[in-house]
Copies of this chain bind each other. A is one copy, B any other.
Amino acid sequence: MTLADKLQATLHHEIPLTRHMGIEVTHFDGHTLRLAAPLAPNINHKHTAFGGSLYALAVSCGWGMVHLKLEEAGMHRHIVIQEAEIKYLLPVAGEMCAECTVDEADWLRCLKMLQKHGRARIALQVTIPGQNNAAVEFNGRYVVHG
C-alpha cells in the first residue's frame, strides 16, 4: 500500500464526507500531493463545482500533505486547520483536482518547532487548476500538536 493509498483510506475513514464527495488521492512524491473528486456529488445548479466542495477538497489536500510528511518522519500528531483564505477565479465544470507542493525549508522549520515546543504552524497553498489558469487558490494555516 502506497502512502497515497493509505492517505485515501485515512481520509475516507476519519472524515466520511470526503468519501461521499468521492475524493481520491491521485499522486504523492514526497513534495507534491494531488487529490481529485468527480463533479457529480459536488455539483451546483450551474453544473459547476459547489464552492463548499472546492474548499473541502483544498483543505483536505493541505491536511493530507502535513499528514504524509509527518508519516514520512515517523511522527503521529494532531493536525488542525486554524484559518484559511480562498479565491474563486474560474468555475470548475468537470472533475476537481487539487495540488499542494510543500516548501522543504518551511517543512523543516515546522518539524524543528514541533520537536522543540511540541507545537508548530505551517502555511500551505493549494491550487485547483482550471483549463489554463488556476480556478481556485487556497491558503491555509495548519497547527500540528500533541
Contact = CB atoms under 8 A, between A and B. Distances in A.
A82 B87 CA distance: 6
Contact of A17 (B50, B78, B80, B87): B50
A74 interface: no
Contacts of A46: 78
- Contact residues on A (Cβ < 8 Å of other chain), bracket: 20 to 34
Contacts of A21: 17
A13 B82 CA distance: 31
Contacts of A116: none
B51 A59 contact: yes
Interface stretch (A1-9, A25-33, A36-44, A102-110): A36-44
Interface in A35-79: 41-46, 50-53, 55-57, 59-60, 78
Nearest to A142: B51
Contacts of A86: 83-85
A41 B15 contact: no
Nearest to A52: B56
B15 A50 contact: yes
13 contacts: A15-B52, A17-B42, A20-B20, A20-B41, A51-B59, A51-B81, A52-B60, A55-B56, A55-B59, A56-B56, A83-B85, A83-B86, A84-B86
Given A17-B52, A55-B84, A83-B86, 15 more contacts: A14-B44, A15-B44, A17-B41, A17-B50, A50-B56, A51-B81, A52-B52, A52-B59, A80-B88, A82-B87, A83-B85, A83-B87, A84-B85, A85-B85, A85-B86
